[in-house]
């Protein structure tokens, strides 16, 4: 006979004492858990939120696209190569090569979640990187065999200026002098808009004998692919292995792969992601030598990231999130220790470049002036791009990420995608970024995709499929520059 039946006819005071005694006799987990009859309706009531969020975001992207089209028809130059949200004109390229990413996507949807759940952790990390590289290459091949190297074979990209670099010390000390567009011998567009570490990466690749655009493209793709296991390490350090395994297929098959093959921002994403991951791993360990070594290594990588792209400073929010979630275990002293050791690594890199003759603050000021002086900045209306940047981000992230964000719950893992979103918003409202955020924000996207760990179990394959379909659709329909 149940407690409710027995107590139905008892006086209120005795009824309360009886119930209290019964609860004290139950295990803690039984007292804290929701009754099955109440929990099920709650899950059903939330099941429609991911779909609603995706529909709202899809409508938002369409509206932004129509506004961009109207601005173009009215004579505004958006500098998006004919596009209205993404950089690239509409031009359908359909051939038998489309079957390659289709087959890869189907295999990923059918086998990816099971493999991510069952592979040994040490196999999952390299396996996810290889799968991410394979998916990016498969998508790129849809548009032709030269698609991997063509994005780097233009006057605006880093390989163009590699032959100009002689002595590394002279390069660093004289870098800022060639940033202004009206200087005697200005750097090309992307080189001038970034710290010298970006061009230096391609210079060093060339000097170790890996010459040519093929190797340059391979370096970028490898960087983007290696960001995937880095995020898995970071998620595991914050929330455990289960959530990391759940988001692995979505990290691989997100539309961001379109800009992994091939843009230099993919390389930036890989370096920064491992910096964050190592700091997360340091915070997840007990204080000691092992934690300090990881924190120092993470700081060194994040320091390098600062000299690849100025915009990566906003990733500091993600760093604070992955370390700060362990405050309850480490205490404030432990958190400060991890961040302090990481900061030492960052300062070592800053000092090394300063000794070489390049001061980051001066470079940032000069690059900002160069960006503001160009037509790609002056012609682009700020009001439109404040929303168009976010629309491009939604396309790059794909429906699974949007649905995952709508499924977030109040756990510490939720801080990762939210911190990354905050970094993107900070970049957006700065006004310096006007368009092309589908590639510029790659280092942030990989952390936003951690939200897919929250997707309802029964919906995961559907969202994974839709993300892959969107990626293939963009590759077929839009002639993206990267």
Please report the DSSP string for 354-376 in residue order: HHHT--HHHHHHHHHHHHHHSHH
Average pLDDT over residues 165-181: 95
Percentage of the residues of the chain whose pLDDT score is greater than 90: 86
pLDDT(32) > 70: no
Four-point Cα dihedral 245, 425, 261, 482, nearest 10: 160
pLDDT number for residue 474: 97
pLDDT(448) > 70: yes
pLDDT number for residue 17: 35
Token pair 């400060």: residue:
336
Domain edges within the chain = 49-480
pLDDT(24) > 50: no
pLDDT digits over 349-405, tens only? 999 999 999 999 999 999 999 999 888 888 899 999 999 999 999 999 999 999 999
How many whole angstroms separate alpha carbon 293 and alpha carbon 279? 10
pLDDT number for residue 267: 98
pLDDT number for residue 46: 66
- Closest C-alpha among 309, 313, 294 to residue 436: 309
How many whole angstroms separate alpha carbon 293 and alpha carbon 342? 9
Crossing angle between the packed helical segments 264-284 and 213-239, to the nearest 10 degrees:
30
pLDDT number for residue 14: 33
pLDDT number for residue 376: 81
| pTM attached to this predicted model | 0.89
Q: What is the mean pLDDT of the chain?
A: 90
pLDDT digits over 51-80, tens only? 999 999 999 999 999 999 999 999 999 999
pLDDT digits over 277-312, tens only? 999 999 999 999 999 999 999 999 999 999 999 999
Provide the 8-state DSSP code for 479.
Answer: E
pLDDT band at 35 (very low <50, low <70, confident <90, very high): very low
Percentage of the residues of the chain whose pLDDT score is greater than 70: 90
- Closest C-alpha among 361, 418, 397, 364 to residue 470: 397
Average pLDDT over residues 234-244: 98
pLDDT(321) > 80: yes
30-34, 229-233, 271-275: least confidently modelled range:
30-34
pLDDT(197) > 90: yes
pLDDT number for residue 269: 98
pLDDT digits over 449-475, tens only? 999 999 999 999 999 999 999 999 999
Separation in Å, CA 264 to CA 46, 75, 223, 287: 39, 31, 9, 36
pLDDT(28) > 60: no
């Amino acid at each position: 006979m149940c407690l409710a039946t027995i107590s139905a006819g008892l006086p209120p005071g005795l009824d309360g004492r009886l119930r209290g005694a019964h609860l004290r006799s139950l295990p803690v987990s039984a007292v804290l858990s929701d009754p099955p009859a109440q929990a099920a309706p709650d899950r059903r009531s939330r099941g429609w939120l991911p779909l609603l969020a995706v529909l709202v975001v899809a409508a938002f992207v369409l509206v932004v696209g129509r506004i961009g089209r109207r601005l173009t028809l009215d004579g505004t130059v958006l500098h998006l190569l004919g596009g209205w949200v993404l950089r690239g004109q509409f031009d359908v390229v359909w051939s038998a090569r489309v079957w390659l990413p289709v087959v890869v996507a189907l295999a990923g949807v059918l086998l990816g979640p099971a493999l991510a759940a069952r592979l040994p952790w040490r196999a999952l990390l390299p396996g996810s990187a290889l799968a991410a590289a394979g998916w990016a290459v498969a998508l790129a091949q849809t548009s032709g065999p030269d698609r991997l190297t063509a994005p780097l074979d233009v006057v605006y990209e880093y390989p163009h200026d590699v032959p100009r670099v002689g002595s590394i010390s002279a390069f660093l000390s004289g870098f800022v002098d060639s940033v202004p567009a009206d200087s005697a011998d200005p750097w090309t567009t992307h080189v001038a808009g970034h710290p010298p570490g970006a061009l230096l990466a391609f210079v060093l690749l060339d000097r170790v004998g890996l010459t040519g655009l093929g190797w340059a493209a391979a370096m970028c793709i490898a960087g983007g692919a290696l960001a995937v296991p880095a995020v898995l390490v970071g998620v595991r350090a914050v929330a455990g292995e289960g959530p990391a395994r759940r988001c692995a297929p979505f990290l691989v098959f997100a539309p961001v792969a379109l800009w992994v093959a091939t843009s230099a921002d993919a390389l930036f994403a890989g370096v920064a992601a491992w910096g964050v991951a190592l700091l997360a791993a340091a915070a997840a360990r007990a204080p000691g030598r092992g934690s300090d070594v990881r924190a120092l290594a993470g700081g060194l990588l994040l320091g390098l990231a600062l000299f690849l792209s100025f915009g990566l400073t906003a990733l500091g929010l993600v760093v604070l999130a992955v370390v700060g979630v362990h405050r309850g275990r480490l205490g404030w002293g432990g958190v400060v220790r991890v961040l302090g050791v990481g900061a030492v690594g960052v300062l070592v890199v800053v000092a090394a470049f300063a000794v070489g003759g390049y001061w980051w603050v001066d470079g940032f000021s000069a690059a900002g002036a160069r960006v503001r002086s160009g037509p790609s900045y002056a012609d682009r209306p700020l009001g439109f791009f404040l929303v168009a940047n976010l629309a491009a981000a939604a396309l790059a992230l794909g429906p699974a990420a949007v649905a995952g964000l709508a499924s977030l719950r109040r756990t510490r893992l939720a801080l990762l995608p939210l911190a990354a979103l905050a970094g993107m918003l900070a970049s957006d409202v700065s006004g310096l970024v006007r368009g092309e955020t589908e590639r510029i924000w790659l280092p942030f996207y990989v952390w936003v995709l951690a939200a897919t760990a929250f997707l309802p179990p029964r919906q995961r394959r559907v969202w994974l499929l839709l993300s892959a379909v969107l990626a293939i659709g963009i590759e077929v329909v839009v002639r993206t520059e990267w």
